[in-house]
Amino acid sequence: MTEGRTSDLQITPIPAFSDNYIWLLRQPGQRQAAVVDPGEAEPVRAALDQAGIALSAILITHHHPDHTGGVAELIGAFPDAAVIAPHDRRIRGVTQAVAEADQITLPGLGLSFEVLEIPGHTATHIAYLGDGALFCGDTLFMAGCGRVFDGSAEQLGASLLRIAALPPETLCYCAHEYTLVNLGFAAWVEPDNERRQARLAEAERLRAAGRPTVPAPLALELATNPFLRTREPAVVAAAEGFAGHRLRDEIEVFAALRRWKDTEYD
């Protein structure tokens, strides 16, 4: 059992595209499983076939195709599977649309999750919180965060502050392997952060071994992710140096960091 868990839930990454993770959730001995953000169907079906299990639920965090592109094919193969997603007409095949504070129980797994609305990357982005795990889609990345698409920087900054207030032992499961790149930007913001330096060495070791850097405990994000460290004097100073003026609050610091990364790093 992983630290922060209250059950024997097994969470396995299914690599997709060049850097996506589809998360497979199952309980030992059970014949059903759930997946989070299946942008492709083929790798999910291969993982299910290999384990000899069926799909009972699909959880969607937001509408982007690399998170929803496999839904139709998976429903075709598993027509009884629940499709749980935010209220968003752009997401097809939904059987249960959910919103802030809704509680969902995954069929065949007996696990419950709370829905958190965390807009910004998209206007309708949600996360699923339960069993010591947070499935945060593209809002929070390891050592970084998502870009702003049809949400706003103010929304995304507020969503990250909300995530930062969760229990520090929460394991964060994002949907992309961006950790090394994000730690590079974090070095621009906090070059003297020793925890960041140690994390970079560990992330390089994991990737060299072909292993994911996801998940990470929220405590590690709070120590190394500049987008969650918008109260830290060094981060504030770096953001103000980029902006060229004083910043009034954490949301303005976040917005400056996001613009900095968008315009000069990515």
Query: Structural domain tally of the chain?
Result: 1
Q: How far apart are CA 54 and CA 191, in angstroms?
A: 47
Quote the pTM value: 0.96
In a domain, 141, yes or no: yes
Whether the CB-CB separation of 138 and 61 falls below 8 Å is answered with yes
State the alpha helices, DSSP H only, in the chain.
Answer: 42-51, 65-68, 71-77, 153-164, 179-189, 194-208, 218-224, 233-243, 250-260
Chain centroid offset of residue 156 CA: 13
Q: What is the mean pLDDT of residues 188-204?
A: 98
The pLDDT score that the predictor gives to residue 167 is: 98
The pLDDT score that the predictor gives to residue 266 is: 87
In a domain, 1, yes or no: no
The pLDDT score that the predictor gives to residue 5 is: 52
- What torsion, rounded to 10 degrees, do the Cα atoms 128, 129, 131, 137 define? 50
In a domain, 166, yes or no: yes
Q: How far apart are CA 50 and CA 138, in angstroms?
A: 28
**CATH of residue 258:** 3.60.15.10
Q: How far apart are CA 138 and CA 147, in angstroms?
A: 8
In a domain, 4, yes or no: no
In a domain, 3, yes or no: no
Q: Tell me the CB-side half-sphere exposure of residue 262, using CA atoms within 13 A.
A: 12
Q: What is the mean pLDDT of residues 77-81?
A: 98
Question: Which residues are part of the catalytic machinery?
Answer: 62, 64, 66-67, 121, 138, 176
In a domain, 5, yes or no: no
Check the CA dihedral 24-25-27-32 and report its sign.
negative
Chain centroid offset of residue 75 CA: 23
In a domain, 19, yes or no: yes
Give pLDDT tens digits for 35-53: 999 999 999 999 999 999 9
Check the CA dihedral 244-250-251-257 and report its sign.
positive
Q: Which domain holds residue 159?
A: 10-265
Give pLDDT tens digits for 22-36: 999 999 989 999 999
* Cis preceding linkage at 215, omega within 30: yes
Q: How far apart are CA 30 and CA 116, in angstroms?
A: 27
In a domain, 158, yes or no: yes
Which two tokens mark 21? Answer: 């993770």
Q: How far apart are CA 229 and CA 217, in angstroms?
A: 15
Query: Residue-wise over 74-88: b if at least 16 C-beta within 10 A, else e?
Result: bbeebeebbbbbbeb
| Residue 3 in this model has a pLDDT that exceeds 50 | no
